[in-house]
Chain A
């Protein structure tokens, strides 16, 4: 039986107290949110913190709130809360869709948006959707705070720009322009509980319902050390009139903009092919939603 090792547990009552605690404990402590990743890794002995710091008694971290015309999502909001939030579903359906693909209902009830970001797994479900939405994360350390676009947050598998002692407190998702649509598709062997073989999030903005594409974003997941944009495919779409042929061409370009590995779940060639197929499908859905929409809502 896999048992948790011994550790101390802290529940600071304010962010100030938590940051001071993390600063003092340096690398020996870890923040615990949902714990769905951390506790498993502690059982397996791959991480060995001597102290866990829970932020659940600190207010504001479990709120989804309007921020300007977009949303502010606290880092401790669970994946289920995001998938089921009327605000998220109406403003950012692509984010709700990605949340509903994560793990299983039990995991979604525990795991948090902050945890899904800071673990920096290349196959994590929420980052691709958040990246096409232009999300930023707020990082707080002792005596300082900074905001980082999610596009430049990840530095490799399991690593990010976060420094020791910093805590991710909030995710800001800006409003999307009118005539914007998006989609997220995850391809896996199983319907639940397994990470993606390939996943793609796309977002298109039109100048008017029957107009040209003024902004295109495509993010590929599980096919590189981090989730990555497909900049050449995005460029090929921008300024063009939408058509199935255009989307097929952009999808072919996107398939050349990834660097997947070959493993048990799929070969590199297969993954590149699937990037093309999922990109085309997500673009078609994004276009369908954008052209049928009077207000933004990716």
Chain B
């Protein structure tokens, strides 16, 4: 299926969860924010949030300031 991942169209397997994308991206930022179709995904839900055709996924590395 095709999703839009950080603004870029990308083909992923049909049973892809947010956690699969995180593994693929090898993302290490502990502050990472994940949105699917403009909805915040809680870190505890990454493994059970499965993607659908056309979903828009955003990985945001936030600038929290300090």
Known A2-B42, A41-B30; judge A193-B62 contact (CB<8 A). Answer: yes
Counting chain A CB atoms within 10 Å of each CB, which of B7, B43, B63, B66 scores highest?
B66
Tell yes or no: B38 within 8 A of A by CB: no
Residues of B within 8 A of A264 (CB): 6, 25, 27, 59
Residues of B within 8 A of A117 (CB): 66
How far apart sit A1 and B45, CA to CA, in the bound complex (Å)?
11
Residues of A within 8 A of B13 (CB): none
Tell yes or no: A103 within 8 A of B by CB: yes
How far apart sit A122 and B26, CA to CA, in the bound complex (Å)?
18
CB nearest neighbor in A for B43? A44
Tell yes or no: A119 within 8 A of B by CB: yes
A46-103 with Cβ < 8 A to chain B:
46, 79, 102-103
Inter-subunit contact B62/A124 (CB<8 Å): no
Tell yes or no: A140 within 8 A of B by CB: no
Inter-subunit contact A194/B62 (CB<8 Å): yes
How far apart sit A116 and B59, CA to CA, in the bound complex (Å)?
22
Known A193-B60, A194-B60; judge A108-B65 contact (CB<8 A). Answer: yes
Give the size of the chain B interface in residues (CB under 8 angstroms).
Answer: 18
Inter-subunit contact B63/A194 (CB<8 Å): yes
How far apart sit A36 and B64, CA to CA, in the bound complex (Å)?
6
Given A118-B66, A189-B6, 4 other A-B contacts at CB below 8 A?
A41-B30, A44-B43, A46-B30, A112-B66
Can you name 27 A-B pairs with beta carbons within 8 Å?
A2-B42, A37-B65, A40-B31, A40-B64, A44-B43, A79-B65, A103-B62, A103-B63, A103-B64, A103-B65, A107-B63, A107-B64, A114-B66, A115-B65, A116-B65, A116-B66, A117-B66, A118-B66, A124-B66, A190-B60, A193-B63, A194-B60, A194-B61, A194-B62, A194-B63, A264-B25, A265-B61
Interface residues of B (CB under 8 A from A): 6-7, 25-28, 30-31, 42-43, 59-66
Interface residues of A (CB under 8 A from B): 1-2, 33-34, 36-37, 40-41, 44, 46, 79, 102-103, 107-108, 110-112, 114-119, 121, 123-125, 189-190, 193-196, 263-265
